[in-house]
Amino acid sequence: MAKKIQGDTTLVTVLSSKGESTLVEYLNTAGVLQRRYVPTKKVLEQFVADDVLERGIPYGFPWEEIKIEFDMQQFAIEMHNAELWTVEEVLHEQKKLTGVFRKIFETSFRAVLETALREKKRS
Residues 76 and 118 in one domain: yes
- The answer to whether residues 26 and 10 touch, using CB atoms and an 8 Å cutoff, is yes
Neighbours of 56 (CB within 10 A): 21
Residues 24 and 39 in one domain: yes
Q: Domain tally for the chain? A: 2
Domain endpoint, select from 21, 42, 60: 60
Residues 50 and 83 in one domain: no
The enclosing H or E element of 14 equals strand 13-18
pLDDT score, position 4? 62
Residues 50 and 96 in one domain: no
Residues 117 and 98 in one domain: yes
pLDDT score, position 123? 77
pLDDT score, position 92? 97
State the residue range of the domain holding 40. 9-60
What residues have CB less than 8 Å from 48, skipping those under 6 apart? 5, 9, 10, 12, 24, 26, 38, 42, 56
pLDDT score, position 64? 84
Residues 70 and 47 in one domain: no
Strands (E), 41-102: 47-49, 57-58
pLDDT score, position 68? 84
Please report whether residue 1 resides in a domain: no
Residues 69 and 108 in one domain: yes
Please report whether residue 4 resides in a domain: no
pLDDT score, position 1? 41
State the virtual CA torsion across 43, 48, 51, 56 in degrees, nearest 10: 60
Residues 34 and 82 in one domain: no
- Identity at 79, one-letter amino acid code: M
What residues have CB less than 8 Å from 83, skipping those under 6 apart? 89, 93, 96
**What does the pLDDT profile of the chain (123 residues) look like in tens digits?**
445 666 799 999 999 999 999 999 999 988 999 999 999 999 999 999 999 999 999 999 988 888 888 899 999 999 999 999 999 999 999 999 999 999 999 988 888 999 999 988 987
